[in-house]
């Protein structure tokens, strides 16, 4: 899974290639409706001292024409001499694979997109030896998807729209429409995009809004995703306030299962008596404490480390620290 906004803006093209058709439509360029797409190595290093690496390289095999390469770069800001690297990437890939190359640059702000449009020329005394003309998408030409139905029809495009417009005044409307639309998606699809935006918007105002929207429970043990955090922070409890006592019991059972699942995933042996103790606990705060400890515990007993002496601990209860 991706780990930064930079990674997210290009990796989604590898993981969800269906996004290419709507992106190219936004650029006013025809893209084959039926095509094979294969990810190639992004390494274009020729000598040991100088390392060069394209973010993403796809080989496109249209049903109605010859194959071509699509090199995708994510650009967060204007970077001195980056255009020289782009010219190198295009020339190298064309020479290595003997096929035409398109360069797509994905930007998050208008100033960077304007610069990335180029064109970038190599020449002297009025003669151009080589010209690099990237295809550029950013907040100026990627649509703001604020309609639930549109987002549901193309979640990959909606995700890129959210990233491209993360600094826009309309980002809240974009995220609300996208979050609402994912309720209709297949579980795996919804899980991917929930986590995708959580990770790629983390640490931003848009990321905070996404976490606010995603106020329900799922399991991504130990990953710190929005849905796991919402679960452990008790946001679901607030929404369930006043409902039947049986549902509260269900939440404690879910949390017990989550603690056990993390320990098992981490390879920590859980004796039967410990498993029973965790399963029998109904205190949500205690289960939250045990979950936190399960992320670093080396033995199951680490969950029950002696607390600072308090009246509760003296009474022999499982009160949280």
Question: What confidence score (pLDDT) does residue 74 get?
Answer: 82
Question: What confidence score (pLDDT) does residue 252 get?
Answer: 64
Cα–Cα distance between 182 and 112 in angstroms, integer? 30
Last residue within a domain, chosen from 85, 118, 137:
137
Report the candidate in 69, 76, 83 with the shortest Cα–Cα distance to residue 8: 76
Question: What confidence score (pLDDT) does residue 249 get?
Answer: 55
- Which pTM was predicted? 0.55
Question: What confidence score (pLDDT) does residue 119 get?
Answer: 93
Question: What confidence score (pLDDT) does residue 1 get?
Answer: 41
- Tell me: do 49 and 128 sit in the same domain: yes
Tokens 């208008």 map to which residue? Answer: 110
In a domain, 225, yes or no: no
User: What b/e sequence results for 256-268 when a residue is b if at least 16 CB atoms lie within 10 Å of its CB, and e otherwise?
Assistant: bebbbebbeeeeb
Question: What confidence score (pLDDT) does residue 76 get?
Answer: 80
Per DSSP, helices labelled H in 108-225 are 110-116, 148-153, 155-164, 171-181, 187-200, 205-213
Q: What is the pLDDT along the chain (321 residues), one digit of tens a residue?
A: 444 555 555 567 767 777 777 788 888 887 777 677 666 655 555 444 344 567 788 888 887 788 899 888 888 888 888 999 999 999 999 999 999 999 999 887 889 999 999 999 999 888 999 999 999 988 888 889 999 899 988 888 888 888 888 888 889 999 999 988 887 777 777 878 888 888 778 788 888 888 887 764 343 444 454 455 554 555 445 444 544 444 455 566 767 877 887 888 778 888 888 888 888 888 888 888 888 888 788 888 888 886 544 444 444 445 444
Range of the domain at 26: 5-137
Last residue within a domain, chosen from 86, 109, 137:
137
Residue 145 has phi, psi (to 5 degrees) of -95, 100
Question: What confidence score (pLDDT) does residue 160 get?
Answer: 86
In a domain, 59, yes or no: yes
In a domain, 256, yes or no: yes
What total number of domains does the chain contain?
3
CB-based contact 101:69 (threshold 8 Å): yes
- Tell me: do 202 and 110 sit in the same domain: no
Angle at which helices 155-164 and 20-27 pack, to 10 degrees?
A: 50
- Tell me: do 84 and 30 sit in the same domain: yes
CATH number reported for the structural domain that contains residue 110 in this entry: 3.40.1350
- Tell me: do 265 and 301 sit in the same domain: yes
Question: What confidence score (pLDDT) does residue 117 get?
Answer: 92
Report the candidate in 209, 127, 216, 198 with the shortest Cα–Cα distance to residue 174: 209
The token duo for 141 is: 């030409």
Report the candidate in 40, 132, 58 with the shortest Cα–Cα distance to residue 88: 132
- Tell me: do 177 and 56 sit in the same domain: no
Three-class SS state of 307: coil
- Tell me: do 41 and 89 sit in the same domain: yes
Cα–Cα distance between 249 and 18 in angstroms, integer? 42
């Amino acid at each position: 899974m991706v780990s930064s906004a930079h990674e997210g803006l290009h990796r989604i093209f590898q993981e969800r290639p269906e996004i290419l058709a709507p992106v190219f439509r936004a650029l006013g360029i025809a893209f084959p409706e039926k095509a094979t797409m294969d990810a190639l190595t992004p390494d274009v290093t020729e000598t040991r001292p100088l390392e060069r690496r394209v973010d993403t390289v796809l080989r496109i095999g249209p049903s109605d024409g010859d194959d071509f390469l699509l090199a995708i770069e994510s650009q967060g800001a204007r970077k001195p001499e980056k255009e020289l690297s782009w010219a190198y990437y295009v020339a190298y890939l064309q020479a290595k694979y003997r096929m035409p190359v398109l360069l797509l640059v994905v930007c998050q702000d208008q100033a960077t997109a304007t610069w990335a449009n180029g064109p970038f020329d190599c020449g002297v005394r009025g003669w151009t030896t080589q010209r690099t003309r990237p295809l550029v998408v950013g907040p100026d030409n990627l649509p703001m998807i604020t309609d639930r139905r549109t987002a549901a029809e193309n979640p990959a495009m909606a995700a890129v729209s959210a990233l491209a417009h993360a600094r826009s005044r309309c980002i809240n409307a974009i995220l609300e429409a996208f979050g609402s639309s994912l309720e209709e998606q297949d579980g795996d699809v919804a899980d991917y995009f929930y986590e995708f935006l959580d990770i790629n918007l983390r640490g931003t105002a848009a990321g905070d809004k996404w976490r606010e929207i995603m106020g329900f429970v799922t399991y991504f043990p130990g990953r710190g995703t929005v849905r796991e955090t919402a679960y452990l922070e008790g946001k679901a409890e607030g929404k369930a306030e006043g409902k039947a006592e049986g549902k509260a019991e269900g939440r404690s059972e879910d949390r017990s299962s989550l603690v056990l699942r993390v320990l098992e995933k981490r390879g920590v042996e859980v004796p039967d008596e410990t498993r029973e103790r965790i399963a029998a606990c109904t205190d949500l705060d205690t289960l939250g404490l045990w979950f936190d400890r399960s992320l670093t515990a080396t033995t199951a007993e680490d969950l029950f480390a002696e607390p600072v002496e308090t009246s509760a601990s003296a009474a022999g209860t499982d009160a949280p620290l």
